[in-house]
């Protein structure tokens, strides 16, 4: 069963930044959050994240409502160190690029959990492998990889001058990438079995002018604190989604009892983390719907019945609000 990531959050500040960039480019932004369940005012709150389906719908809205292609490149080319919060400052104050990449890999969940970064060292180079979360949409995966690629392009030139970066991507060839990246990106190979960035060891050892041991230690301490908080949120939200997807329909009191807490405590913890039980139920139902439509090949009417909707019209409306397409359109993808 190829299900969407149960809890693969992306920091809301990146959605905010991209929305601002689109506005500055003269693109309409008023309806870009439609169907995401995310409120515009929440994007700037510290520690806020958006889940996979919300980000995917946001990116779909960009495709349908703006002239912008490859929004990840647009975002990555305009991100500065402060845009990455404590992770950015921790990387900036390291001794060199090699150490900065190690920091980025460890704390990348504070940016997004839609992909994982794995480091592989050889005597000649460092390879950063990009591993997508299970069930991530191609749209969201490309967005994250493009943003990462553009960030390497910009920050590499700012901190090192030329990283001599070689890139492998799993996607079909995109000529616009070569046209919109600097010569610091030496080569991009498409249709590869896995995505990776490879940097010669000599470029990794170039000292950073802004290296600062004290500031670095403070930034790392902040990163560790934020990572601990995020892991706690992932644990609760992930457990709830698993219970809701795997079991029969259940109310908040029943789920809270299964978790060994009162309904009020569960509500308070979810509210603190910026998640509602109602939203989790809806996400679980949409996840189940996608499975029924794709893998069991159920009809729209049968899927609606299985999920407890009163009729297929209500199910269709709910599915469209969550995904941007009707169940029938989704089945034909």
CA 168 to chain centre: 20
* Residues 249/253/255/258 CA torsion (nearest 10 deg): -130
Q: Which two tokens stand for residue 288?
A: 């189940």
pLDDT at 241 over 80: no
Indicate whether this model's pTM tops 0.95.
Answer: no
Domains of the chain, start order? 10-214 (3.90.1520.10), 223-331 (1.10.10.60)
Strands 49-50 and 115-121: unpaired
pLDDT at 142 over 70: yes
How confident is the model at residue 246, as a pLDDT?
67
The model's confidence at residue 1, banded by pLDDT at 50, 70 and 90, is very low
The tens digit of pLDDT for each residue in 243-295 reads 787 666 778 998 888 888 899 999 888 877 667 888 888 888 887 888 788 77
The residue ranking higher by pLDDT, 269 or 143, is 143
pLDDT at 124 over 50: yes
49-63, 129-143, 239-253, 283-297: segment of lowest average pLDDT:
239-253
First to last CA, the chain: 17
Residue (of 101, 105, 132, 107) closest to 118 by Cα position:
105
How confident is the model at residue 283, as a pLDDT?
80
- Give me the half-sphere count of Cα atoms (radius 13 Å) on the Cβ side of residue 207: 4
The tens digit of pLDDT for each residue in 178-217 reads 889 998 898 999 999 999 999 999 999 999 999 999 999 9
How confident is the model at residue 38, as a pLDDT?
81
How confident is the model at residue 269, as a pLDDT?
85
Strand, coil or helix: 115:
strand
CA 176 to chain centre: 22
Listed as own residue / partner, the contacts of 177-184 with beta carbons closer than 8 Å and 24 or more positions apart are: 177/70, 177/73, 177/146, 177/149, 180/70, 180/73, 180/77, 181/73, 181/149, 181/150, 181/153, 182/153, 182/157, 184/153, 184/156, 184/157
pLDDT at 13 over 60: yes
DSSP secondary structure string for all residues of 225-257? HHHHHHHHHHHHHHHHHHHHHHSS---HHHHHH
The tens digit of pLDDT for each residue in 145-188 reads 999 999 999 988 888 888 899 999 999 998 888 889 998 898 99
Q: What b/e string do you get for 178-214 counting C-beta neighbours within 10 Å, with b at 16 or more?
A: eebbeebbeebeeeeeebbbbbeeebbebebeeeeee
How confident is the model at residue 3, as a pLDDT?
44
46-55, 78-87, 119-128, 236-245: segment of lowest average pLDDT:
236-245
How confident is the model at residue 333, as a pLDDT?
63
Residue (of 81, 74, 79, 124) closest to 103 by Cα position:
81
User: For 112-122, what is the mean pLDDT?
Assistant: 94
The residue ranking higher by pLDDT, 235 or 292, is 292
Is there a contact between 156 and 187 (Cβ–Cβ < 8 Å)? no
24-28, 134-138, 216-220: segment of lowest average pLDDT:
134-138
How confident is the model at residue 6, as a pLDDT?
45
How confident is the model at residue 4, as a pLDDT?
43
pLDDT at 86 over 70: yes
CA distance 313 to 323: 15
How confident is the model at residue 2, as a pLDDT?
41
How confident is the model at residue 10, as a pLDDT?
92
If you average pLDDT over every residue of the chain, what do you get? 88
């Amino acid at each position: 069963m190829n299900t969407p990531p149960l809890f693969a959050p992306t920091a809301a500040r990146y959605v905010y930044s991209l929305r601002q960039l689109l506005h500055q480019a003269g693109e309409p932004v008023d309806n870009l959050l439609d169907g995401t369940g995310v409120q515009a005012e929440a994007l700037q709150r510290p520690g806020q994240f958006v889940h996979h389906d919300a980000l995917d719908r946001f990116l779909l809205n960009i495709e349908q409502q703006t002239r912008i292609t490859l929004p990840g490149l647009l975002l990555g080319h305009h991100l500065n160190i402060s845009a990455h919060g404590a992770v950015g400052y921790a990387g900036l104050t390291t001794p060199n690029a090699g150490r900065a990449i190690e920091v980025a890999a460890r704390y990348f969940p504070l940016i997004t959990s839609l992909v994982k970064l794995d480091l592989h060292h050889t005597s000649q180079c460092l390879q950063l492998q990009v591993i997508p979360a299970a069930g991530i949409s191609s749209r969201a995966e490309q967005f994250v990889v493009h943003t990462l690629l553009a960030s390497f392009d910009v920050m590499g030139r700012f901190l090192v001058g030329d990283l001599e970066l070689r890139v492998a991507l799993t996607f079909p060839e995109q000529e616009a990438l070569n046209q919109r990246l600097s010569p610091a990106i030496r080569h991009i190979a498409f249709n590869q079995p896995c995505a990776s960035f490879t940097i010669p060891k000599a470029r990794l050892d170039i000292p950073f002018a802004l290296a600062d041991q004290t500031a670095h230690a403070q930034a790392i301490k902040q990163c560790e604190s934020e990572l601990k908080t995020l892991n706690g949120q992932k644990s609760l939200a992930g457990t709830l989604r698993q219970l809701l997807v795997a079991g029969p329909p259940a109310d908040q009191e029943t789920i809270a009892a299964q978790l060994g807490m009162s309904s009020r405590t569960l509500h308070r913890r979810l509210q603190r983390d910026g998640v509602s039980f109602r939203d989790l139920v809806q996400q679980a139902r949409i996840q189940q719907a996608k499975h029924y439509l794709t893998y069991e090949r159920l009809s729209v009417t049968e899927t609606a019945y299985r999920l407890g909707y009163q009729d297929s019209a209500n199910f269709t409306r709910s599915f469209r609000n969550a995904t941007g397409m009707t169940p029938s359109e989704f089945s034909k993808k």
